Amino acid sequence: MKFFIDTANLNDIKEAYDLGILDGVTTNPSLMAKEGITGSQNILKHYVAICNIVEGPVSAEVIATDFEGMIREGEQLAALHKNIVVKIPMIPEGIKAIKYFSGKNIKTNCTLIFSAGQALLAAKAGATYISPFLGRLDDVSTDGISLIEQIRGIYDNYAFDTEILAASVRHPMHIIHCAEIGADVMTGPLSAIKALAKHPLTDIGLQQFLADHAKGNK
């Protein structure tokens, strides 16, 4: 299972990368705005800064919602760095754009997936990744994990190459459930990734070992 971090914060990206378990990064326009990155030139520079930290796929989202605009922006993004993955929304124009990029060997991440039908269309268009937003489904009393499980079954039936990138992960149990049902990738905040390491018995056990070692070495 691959671990991506879902942020545009360079410190968090560096910290996750330094842990040695980070495989890639996802961003979106809201995450860029949260870091105060505005204006197309600054946004493009920021993607390059992220690519310079992480050796792995970095999803960069198009803003256009028409086919020509998505192609123009996507080609500009893809030219920035070999690891850029063009993130495209799940709308009919987006499906056409994914098909276009798949024919050019440009990697894509189809975002804002909330149903199995959307996931099926994106895979047929040749998306490299699809991003089902499991946390946002949970927010509206719908089981996000069940959707990912359903998509896993459909993709396995037909051996689609498209990778399931479980997005909108909020906490460590989301990550564990995604691993249990075979999501290819998960993307979440640094807090959820670091929370996987935590256990009170680990802390208590370590304290005890250090205290006993100190006693024996007095």
Catalytic (active-site) positions: 87
How many residues lie near ligand E4P (CB under 6 A)?
Answer: 11
Q: Which of 216, 199, 175, 198 is nearest to 2 (CA)?
A: 175
Residue 90 and residue 166: Cα distance in Å, rounded? 15
First and final C-alpha spacing in the chain = 45
Is 26 a binding residue for ligand E4P by CB under 6 A? The answer is yes
| Contact flag: residue 99 with ligand E4P (CB under 6 A) | no
What string marks each residue from 159 to 198 as x (binds ligand E4P by CB under 6 A) or -? --------xx------------------x-----------
**Counting contacts by CB under 6 A, is residue 7 touching ligand E4P?**
no
Which one of 14-22, 32-40, 90-98, 128-136 is the stretch in contact with ligand E4P (CB under 6 A)? Answer: 128-136
> Helical H runs in the chain?
10-19, 29-34, 40-53, 67-80, 92-103, 116-125, 134-139, 144-158, 172-181, 190-195, 200-216
Closest CA to 165 of 154, 151, 157: 151
**Could you say which of 135, 154, 171, 181 contacts ligand E4P (CB under 6 A)?**
135
Stretch that binds ligand E4P, among 12-20, 38-46, 127-135, 153-161 (CB under 6 A): 127-135
Closest CB to ligand E4P among 26 and 162?
26
Q: Which two tokens stand for residue 203?
A: 């802390």
Q: Is 118 in the site for ligand E4P (CB under 6 A)?
A: no
Segment interacting with ligand E4P, rule: CB under 6 A, options 44-52, 94-102, 130-138, 172-180:
130-138
23 binds ligand E4P (CB under 6 A): no
Contact 188, 170 (CB under 8 A): yes
**Which one among 111, 118, 128, 162 touches ligand E4P, defined by CB under 6 A?**
111
Residue 111, helix vs strand vs coil: strand
For residues 89 and 112, is the Cβ–Cβ distance under 8 A? yes
Nearest-angstrom CA–CA distance, 24 and 142: 28
Beta pairing class for 24-26 and 58-61: parallel
3: contact with ligand E4P by CB under 6 A: no
Name which of 103 and 196 has its Cβ closer to ligand E4P: 196
Site of interaction with ligand E4P (CB under 6 A):
6, 26, 28, 111, 131, 133, 135-136, 167-168, 187
